[in-house]
Copies of this chain bind each other. A is one copy, B any other.
Amino acid sequence: MSETKNFTLAVVPGDGIGPEVTTEALKVLDAVAAQHGVTFDRTEYDLGAKRWHATGETLPDAELEEIRKHDAILLGAVGDPSVPSGVLERGLLLKLRFTLDHYVNLRPSKIYPSVGSPLANPGEVDFVVVREGTEGPYVGNGGALRVGTPAEIATEVSVNTAYGVERVVRDAFARAQARPRKKLTLVHKNNVLVHAGHLWKRTVDAVAAEFPDITVDYLHVDAATIFLVTDPSRFDVIVTDNLFGDIITDLAAAISGGIGLAASGNINPDRTAPSMFEPVHGSAPDIAGQQKADPTAAILSASLLLEHLGLTEAAKAIEDAVTADIEERTDAVRSTAEIGDAIAKRA
């Protein structure tokens, strides 16, 4: 006799290619769920550019509170050129990350042997970036004076707290501890951003004392981009702030199979609110609705979602299905749905 476990899932397909890739992620999620004795009760939320044009709303608080009641969130992509830059990013995506306290933005990078890398000799790449998700220059503290005049001044304030830095650094050390290489690299710019940088460095040094078997090093963000293209296999776990994490994870995706494969989890490790899973890629409005997008990143994000819910075997089933699919990729062009179907069949 087996018991079926039921989870609730809030789905935010969003803009551009978001809906297409989300459809495939849900297809694969359902396929593995059935085999692992779980179901997902889904509620879809109509948020993004269309909604904003129709109502002026990005994410009303009441809807956020509804979303909060779910076990997890699956998000497609947010952003559209018809909406002023920042409106949806700040009003929807970052509002979710910040309000639901997604302080660990987890972004694994792995080179699949059969997938081409733009690097001539990438070597073995298998690292994870733990990007802080609730502080740094993303907090929205800043403003502008005398806008549109020659005397305009605009500021952006990066806010960093011991509270916020320590919790994400601890999470990164715990992840390093669970990995065979046990290595952690702090990426910052503490030779220029001395206040924030020294807080990060001191915190890593302090927490390191509790993890004597972890090898710790430090790289300035500019140097980190060099190593990401000259020696990416040196990385195991990277911990970094919100903005540096944004930048280096796009680069990390690019060197390891491309942004079409890069998954992410916006995780609330304390489980005081649901975590949110989304591809690293954006809404790619230029190819939206054409079945041209690779849904693999969204599908792998569903795998991270399962992992977070403790469904390790189901998560592994998706990962294995993706690996198998990737290994047999040819030059033949497949539609978004065809890739989703192929992975769902293997899962």
Contacts and interface: CB of A to CB of B under 8 A. Distances in A.
Contacts of A113: none
Interface string A132-150: 0000011000111011111
Contacts of A247: 221-222, 225, 247
A85 B198 contact: yes
A102 interface: no
Q: Is the interface of A mostly helix, strand, loop or mixed?
A: mixed
A5 interface: no
A163 B152 CA distance: 8
Nearest to A89: B191
A154 B144 CA distance: 21
Contacts of A191: 79, 85-86, 89-90
Interface in A212-244: 221-223, 225-226, 228-230, 243
Size bin of chain A's contact surface: 35 or more
A273 interface: no
A248 B254 CA distance: 14
A158 B155 contact: yes
B158 A90 contact: no
- Chain copies in complex: 2
Contacts of A248: 225
Contacts of A178: none
A250 interface: yes
A158 B156 contact: yes
A221 B225 CA distance: 12
Contacts of A155: 157-160, 195-196
A163 B96 CA distance: 35
Given A150-B163, A192-B243, 17 more contacts: A79-B191, A86-B190, A86-B192, A118-B121, A119-B229, A142-B195, A146-B162, A148-B202, A151-B161, A151-B163, A156-B158, A156-B195, A156-B196, A222-B247, A226-B251, A230-B254, A230-B258
26 contacts: A85-B191, A85-B194, A90-B191, A119-B229, A137-B156, A137-B158, A138-B192, A142-B195, A146-B162, A149-B162, A150-B166, A151-B163, A152-B162, A153-B160, A154-B160, A154-B161, A155-B160, A155-B196, A156-B195, A157-B158, A189-B243, A223-B282, A225-B225, A226-B251, A229-B229, A230-B254
